[in-house]
Amino acid sequence: MVKLILLIFFPLIMFSQTYETQKYTLVDKSDDFEIRFYPKSIKARVISTSNSNNNFRKLFSYISGNNKTNEKIAMTTPVYMNSDSNGSSMDFVMPSEFNLSNIHKPNDKDVKIIESKAGYFATLKYGGYSNSFKVEANTNKLYKILKGKNIDFIGEPSYVSYNSPFKFFSRRNEIIIQINYSE
């Protein structure tokens, strides 16, 4: 009986996610390339000179109740990641019910609450498990698309992931960068 229950429910657990996703308005789309307008959002961020596993641990601890109110915060998507020769950063987008005045304050001094600025962003989607080769290849592909469309970008791109490590199929990853754009 236990095996039958596992056979029925395991695929449902492994292939479905019901996380709130950061809101945006689709402005333009062609194949895996999109231009989106993102309104302001609240994010929890950790920046470190060490590896990103520590960043994830600190952010996950924060949403699991390591905050001034000891309350859990729902996981959302996507998770933003950046890295360069100086270190790495990771951002968890907070559920849309939160703003700067009602977000739970972190206990960990390394977890910072920020409000992102509204703006236009170019994105390029790709699947599978991500790695540094895929991030670099898709970042270069996005730069080439932007250059071909004469779109200027602002700052550095981020790698974003929409799936838990336990989702094996239909994974969604993106490279995203802010752009100068007017409709």
74-92 pLDDT, tens digit each? 999 999 999 877 889 999 9
Tokens of 140: 């270069």
Judge if pTM exceeds 0.95. no
Phi, psi of 13 (to 5 degrees): -70, -45
Mean pLDDT for 40-49 is 95
Give Cβ neighbours of residue 45 (< 8 Å, ≥ 6 apart). 89, 90, 91, 111, 112, 113, 114
Task: Please check whether residue 158 is in contact with residue 82, taking contact to mean a CB–CB distance below 8 angstroms.
Answer: yes
Query: Which amino acid belongs to residue 135?
Result: V
Of the pLDDT bands very low, low, confident and very high (cuts 50, 70, 90), residue 62 is very high
Determine the number of helices (DSSP H) and then strands (DSSP E) in the chain.
3, 11
Q: Residue 10 above 70 pLDDT?
A: no
Q: What is the pLDDT of residues 83-132, one digit of tens each?
A: 877 889 999 999 999 999 999 999 999 999 999 999 999 999 999 999 99
Q: Assign residue 170 a region (left: φ > 0; alpha: ψ between -120 and 50; beta: otherwise).
A: left
115 or 9: which carries more pLDDT confidence?
A: 115
Q: What is the pLDDT of residues 137-179, one digit of tens each?
A: 999 999 999 999 999 999 999 999 998 777 778 899 999 999 9
Q: What is the pLDDT of residues 25-42, one digit of tens each?
A: 999 999 889 999 999 999
- The structural domains of the chain, ordered by start, are 19-39+118-183 (3.30.200), 41-115 (3.20.80.10)
Task: Please tell me the predicted confidence (pLDDT) of residue 51.
Answer: 60
In this structure, the number of other CB atoms found within 10 A of the CB of residue 3 comes to: 7
Task: Please tell me the predicted confidence (pLDDT) of residue 17.
Answer: 55
b/e burial code for range 20-58 (CB count within 10 A of at least 16 → b) = eebebeeeeeeebbbbbebeebbbbbbebeeebeebbeb
